[in-house]
């Protein structure tokens, strides 16, 4: 079951990275699909709500949220999960900024921006940040019985954040989709580390030596028991009796003058009964 779950997760991660690559290669200023979608979403009545929702992906919101969730995990004694949660958000932010610098995609018309921006377009930082932070919190900090509600809520917050960037005309649709897909793949990849047991730093050879030292050496005791006298009083015999010898039963009959030994085969049927003197 664990192998099947890991396989499905790897397939999903590969699919998400494929979407990210497709958005990188086909979107941007020269994409007619990006331009059409951008005009379709650009509604003036949505701008006030977009100005508020876009802050769900702001750095000053997601970092404290991740730290609070990490502190709660640490308080519960889950230090490993807490560290992975904080690393997902912080290292993911660095990865997004490196992509912006590397790909250097221009944003939509600067005269149409409704909020201030200071870096390049692909991928959308707010969309990526929202997906990384809220999905990581849902997967790592929320108890398992509540995750079926927390994960859809995290995806909804990330979706609203990404759409707000389009309404504010600061990103191409491919920037937003690329940010979502990369961030989701990043979270799934690093969150899988929290489900694996921590590595053992004790080498197998040392474990074997420790086991040998803990177990007493019984060889000398066994040799002593084999050389000890048997229950019959003879010197130097094995404690185990031969099965064939045990099948023969020895009985002593007669008086003090002499003793006759009769085996189980020669014994009469009533041999176990005492011999009583006859009455006159």
- pLDDT (tens digit per residue) in 214-247: 445 455 555 555 555 544 444 444 444 454 455 4
Query: Is 274 contained in some domain?
Result: no
pLDDT at 118: 84
Residue 207 CB coordination number (10 Å): 11
Q: What are phi and psi of 36, to 5 degrees?
A: -65, -45
The answer to whether position 141 is within a domain reads: yes
Q: What is the CATH number of the domain that holds 48?
A: 1.20.144
Token pair recorded at residue 129:
């940040």
Is 262 contained in some domain? no
Q: Domain tally for the chain? A: 1
- Rounded Cα distance between 173 and 40, Å, is 11
Domain encompassing residue 101: 2-194
Q: Is residue 131 part of a domain?
A: yes
Residues 239 and 226: beta-carbon distance below 8 Å:
yes
Confidence of residue 95 (pLDDT cuts 50, 70, 90): very high
Say if 225 falls within a structural domain: no
Please report the pLDDT score of residue 16 as a whole number. Answer: 97
Residue bearing the bigger pLDDT, 206 or 112 = 112
Indicate whether 245 belongs to any domain.
no
What pLDDT digit, counting tens, does each position of 151-173 carry?
999 999 999 999 999 999 999 99
pLDDT at 251 over 90: no
pLDDT of res. 250:
45
Question: Which of 36-40, 98-102, 219-223, 233-237 has the least mean pLDDT?
Answer: 233-237
Distance between alpha carbon 145 and the CA centroid of its chain, in Å?
17
The C-alpha atoms of residue 173 and residue 188 are separated, in whole angstroms, by 23
For residue 105, pLDDT beyond 80: yes
Render the chain in DSSP notation, one character per residue.
-HHHHHHHHHHHHHHHHHHHHHHHHH-STT-HHHHHHHHHH--GGGHHHHHHHGGGG-HHHHHHHHHHHHHHHHHTT-HHHHHHHHHHHHHHHHHHHHHHHHH-PPPS-GGG-SS---S--SSPHHHHHHHHHHHHHHHHTS-GGGHHHHHHHHHHHHHHHHHHHHHTT-S-HHHHHHHHHHHHHHHHHHHHHHTSPPPP-S-HHHHHHHHHHHS---HHHHHHHHHS--TTS-SS--SSPPHHHHTS--EEES-SS--EEE-TTTS-TTTTS---PPP-
What pLDDT digit, counting tens, does each position of 129-150 carry?
Answer: 999 999 999 999 999 999 999 9
* Average of per-residue pLDDT across 37-50: 89
Q: What is the pTM of this model?
A: 0.69
CA distance 161 to 130: 7
Half-sphere exposure of 230 (CA within 13 A, CB side): 10
pLDDT at 196 (0 to 100): 67
């Amino acid at each position: 079951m664990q192998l099947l779950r890991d396989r499905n997760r790897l397939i999903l991660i590969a699919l998400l990275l494929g979407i990210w690559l497709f958005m990188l290669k086909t979107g941007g200023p020269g994409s007619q699909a990006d331009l059409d979608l951008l005009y379709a979403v650009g509604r003036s009545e949505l701008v006030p709500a977009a100005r508020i929702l876009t802050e769900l992906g702001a750095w000053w919101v997601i970092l404290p949220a991740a730290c609070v969730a990490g502190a709660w995990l640490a308080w519960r004694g889950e230090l490993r999960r807490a560290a992975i949660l904080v690393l997902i958000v912080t290292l993911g932010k660095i990865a997004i900024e490196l992509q912006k610098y590397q790909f250097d995609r221009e944003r939509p018309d600067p005269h149409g921006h409704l909020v201030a921006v200071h870096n390049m377009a692909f991928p959308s930082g707010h969309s990526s940040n929202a997906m990384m932070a809220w999905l990581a919190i849902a997967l790592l900090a929320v108890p398992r019985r509540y995750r079926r509600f927390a994960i859809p809520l995290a995806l909804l917050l990330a979706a609203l954040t990404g759409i707000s960037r389009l309404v504010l005309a600061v990103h191409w649709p491919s920037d937003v989709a690329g940010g979502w897909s990369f961030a989701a793949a990043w979270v799934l990849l690093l969150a899988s580390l929290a489900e694996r047991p921590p590595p053992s730093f004790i080498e197998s050879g040392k474990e074997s030596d420790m086991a040998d030292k803990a177990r007493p050496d019984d060889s000398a005791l066994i040799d002593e028991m084999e050389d000890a006298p048997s229950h019959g009083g003879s010197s130097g015999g094995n404690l185990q009796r031969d099965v064939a010898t045990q099948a023969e039963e020895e009985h002593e009959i007669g008086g003090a003058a002499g003793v006759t030994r009769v085996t189980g085969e020669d014994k009469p049927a009533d041999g176990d009964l005492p011999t009583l003197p006859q009455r006159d």
